[in-house]
Structure 1
């Protein structure tokens, strides 16, 4: 999956030790257009991909990522794990910022025909006070 948006914030790297040795991750937030209102998404990069020093807050970036969910204590947690982050190309570049397609609306379908209402002026015997 991939998405383009404006880099809003780069968080401090986090390190730790696990069963497989030392690990390192860093998170960053982008803002992207999705329908009428902009949305924000937080991504994580792990290991040798943590170096985000070439990115500038406020610039357009292109993120390639995989969503990953896991269960812990009967609760589910989802991460957006970025595997490639690059500055978005300008209009002469290889790609333009792409926004994800919004999901189709759910719920009752809109009626295609207007109901035939009775003309309010056709019944002179109806003397309602309003």
Structure 2
């Protein structure tokens, strides 16, 4: 195998590799947030019943941390929906650090883009049979 082999691969291969890289980096960010910043985020949202109930119910396992991170993300990224339900304190969400908010929003955006590309890839394969 020489370099010409890698340079002459189809564009679909390079697109798939780039999507895979994006997904892996999103997962690395998620794991970092689960193990390094989750407790800090939950302490900042200690009046939110959505976050506190998930923390008590799911505990400190890997699955529990993942679900707790999803609850924090839901509270921060979609505050209008959770404020209507009464599960989030408006002032705590507004005081949440902007950097962490943007990181969670970027993570959600990357996941949505990945799902969109995966679905479009499946439809493309289905339509070209």
Report TM bin, short chain. under 0.3
TM-score of the superposition, structure 2-length normalised? 0.21
